[in-house]
Structure 1
Amino acid sequence: MEAKELTRKELYDLVWSKPISTLSKQFHVKSSYLKEQCTKFNIPTPKSGYWTKIKHGKDVEKTELNGDEDLIIKLETINDKLDKKRVIVPAKLSKSHKLVAIAKKDLANKKLSYRYASKGMITTSKGILNITVTPKLVSRALIFMDLFVKLAEERGFKIWFKEYYGTVVSLHGIDSPIYLREKNKRIIVRNNGLWNETELEPIGELAFKRDDYPRKEWHDSKSVKLEAKIPSIIDYFEEQAIKERAEKIEREKWREEQKRKQKIEDDLKELRNSEIEKFNLLYEDSTRYYKAEQLRGFINAKKEYASKTSSMSQSLKSWINWANEKADWLDPLVKREDTILGDYESFK
């Protein structure tokens, strides 16, 4: 793969100057990949029907570009689709890829399986190219894998192994588990009257599978062997990687937007709770102040009554002092600390 550099503004101007399908051919990239880059770098693109309106001279709206216009974007250009004529299937394995050489050595020491789904076949060990075939199909399976791995790596794929998933092909950060196996057919081995006992029998045909969503299978047909389908298999993984990467970016953007909205909602909730708390405190303080003034009014009324009736006593004077202290203790403006009750905030 090669990389072409251009600024964010340059790519923006280009996608508004001609359809992405045309532009993708100019850059030797897939349309889905170009759309992915626009999504990734927040570059607005024309909506559906835009170019039809242009063609018929109708008014159109152009979405403005916001943000850093000079940010450099690297477009990974790819060659045209693999030429099927390039896939020359050798009669025997030679100069094999190191991963295939490891698989060949591993299969040479394998015993036939008695498991239901792979009975009569041999399977590579964990951490080795995932192959399950009968001994007579080993040579062809290795040749297929050798062709696939070499062409895939030539196109920029990474072949690696993942625990619980086996062999994985990766491109643009998208991982796809794969395996090669011999196809089976179900045969009846015994009729018990009420039901048939069946077994799976290998039929000498190869099938190559993508073992995750969306699942995909290629296999031998009457007129075309699986090896001839390698170019279309690799093209599929390229297109899917670009498509799924774009979808992944969209999901990440959606999640970020949801997080942003949730933060706004949480901030508003926190602000509202803070306002409620402050209001409740205000209301409580005003109520305390009103009660303190009410107490003082009562204390003064009692004091005035004692003066009028000449009934002021030492015990009443002590009560008046005590009552005024309690009013000051209750009053949020005075906040007097009581020798017994402490401050009002601790008391409540």
Structure 2
Amino acid sequence: MPDAKTTLTRTELFDLVWSKPATKVAADYGVSSVAVAKACRRLDVPTPPRGYWTQLAHGKVIPRPTLGSRKPGERESTSLGEGAKISKSAEIDSTVTVDNTPAPEKPHPIVQKTRAAFRGGAKDSRYGTLYGKRDIPHLRVSVTPDTFERAIEILNRLAWMLERNGFVLEEPKEGSESVQPIFVATKTKIDFSVQEVVERYERELTAEEKKQSWTWDRWRYRPTGRLKIVLAEYEPQGARKSWSDGKVQKLDEKLTEIVEGFIICAQGKHAAHLKWEAQRQQWAEEARRREEAERQRQEEEKRRNLFRESALRWREANLMREFRAACEAKLRGQKADGTLTADEEAWLLWADSVVDRNDPLKGSLLERSLTEWVTSRRQCNS
């Protein structure tokens, strides 16, 4: 059975893409239609023009081009999965297969609510598009009354297809009237809307207005009847996020490709989220390390200051001890028998206590300094 790694020659690839739509080729080989298009570009294989399969289904005969030869040394084969990447910034699985089984005829519950939300709703004064009622959860729609029913029909088919391909459409629990599909595999919500293309044109200006450099209401807007589906998501970069009615192929005929885009977008958005979370955790770890390094620096500075204070006090205690001895010698030298009075002995005892209190080797300062150093070293090693 063919898969993304199956090697195809130019001739085989040419026959393949002209025998069935790219979406079906992609499903057979377990890749996306984007990967099929890239393979054709790699081997310079011409592909069917837009609307080819629709015209063929209506009996129109469109001649197939010939497959030209390549220059010597250029590639003659590839696999559809080669280098398949959807996002420029997120690594995701680009092999997307869409279940395009026909949608049920019955209305989807969320689409029913959407219809009710816009029934009798107000219109935008500038664009003529309908407003949905805020008290009824609904899908995001921005169309005129003339295209509303077609938009609902497209949404109904899209909603059933999304649910068959891993999405769920649920009413928001609180805070928002907009319903958005959630990709169950990654719990990723996709923000999308169905819109009617509105053209802007310049109204006819008066002679006086033409003399002015700026006119505030010079533009008018008219609906075109063309619908488009837009994914309002940034990730994955480089992936397609909008589809619209074409001259030949209408939006209704692109639903398989659109659902594929939803899946790719959900995968890419989730991958980007994981990448961001990993980056955030890395930044948090780097911040923690900086904080720990700063804490250790402050602790080391505190220990150095304590050691320096001890050294200064030790030097002062030795100076005081020498001075105390000199005082005692002076007092004894003033007496013929070298004896001291009771007051003099008491004063010398007081002087001894002052020296002892100031001497780090006799007080608790040395023990405190040693204890803090040992504790800090154990914390660093743990």
TM-score (norm. length: structure 2): 0.60
Partner of 1:244: 269
1:80 aligns with 2:88: no
Read off the aligned partner of 2:195 and give its amino acid letter: R
1:101 aligns with 2:112: yes
Partner of 1:271: 296
1:327 aligns with 2:339: no
Mapped to 1, the partners of 2:176 and 2:198 lie a distance apart of: 23
Mapped to 2, the partners of 1:102 and 1:174 lie a distance apart of: 22
Partner of 1:168: 180
Unaligned runs of 5+ in 2: 7-26, 33-92, 365-382
Mapping of 1:133-144 within 5 angstroms? 133-144=143-154
Read off the aligned partner of 2:226 and give its amino acid letter: E
Contact 2:111 2:139 in 1 (8 A): yes
1:204 aligns with 2:216: no
Contact 1:178 1:208 in 2 (8 A): yes
Mapping of 1:87-126 within 5 angstroms? 94-111=105-122, 113-116=123-126, 118-119=127-128, 121-126=129-134
Mapped to 2, the partners of 1:128 and 1:318 lie a distance apart of: 96
Which residue of the other structure, out of 203, 225, 234, is the alignment partner of 1:213? 234
Contact 2:182 2:188 in 1 (8 A): yes
The size of the alignment, in residue pairs, is 263
Mapped to 1, the partners of 2:177 and 2:361 lie a distance apart of: 71
Which residue of the other structure, out of 167, 188, 192, is the alignment partner of 2:202? 188
Which residue of the other structure, out of 234, 244, 258, is the alignment partner of 1:233? 258
Identity %: 19
| Residues 48-70 of structure 1 deviation map (CA, whole Å, 9 limit, x = unaligned) | xxxxxxxxxxxxxxxxxxxxxxx
1:106 to partner: Cα distance: 2.6
Read off the aligned partner of 2:157 and give its amino acid letter: L
Mapped to 1, the partners of 2:347 and 2:4 lie a distance apart of: 94
| Residues 230-287 of structure 1 deviation map (CA, whole Å, 9 limit, x = unaligned) | 1111111211222232232222222223322332332232223222212221221232
Q: CA RMSD in A?
A: 3.4
**Secondary structure in structure 2 of the residue aligned to 1:122:** coil
Rate the CA distance shift 1:247–1:79 in 2: closer, same or farther, 3 A.
closer
**Secondary structure in structure 2 of the residue aligned to 1:204:** strand
1:294 aligns with 2:319: yes
1:201 to partner: Cα distance: 1.2
1:189 to partner: Cα distance: 3.0
TM-score (norm. length: structure 1): 0.65
Rate the CA distance shift 1:82–1:180 in 2: closer, same or farther, 3 A.
same
1:178 to partner: Cα distance: 1.0
Mapped to 1, the partners of 2:4 and 2:320 lie a distance apart of: 84
Mapped to 1, the partners of 2:244 and 2:201 lie a distance apart of: 20
Partner of 1:305: 330
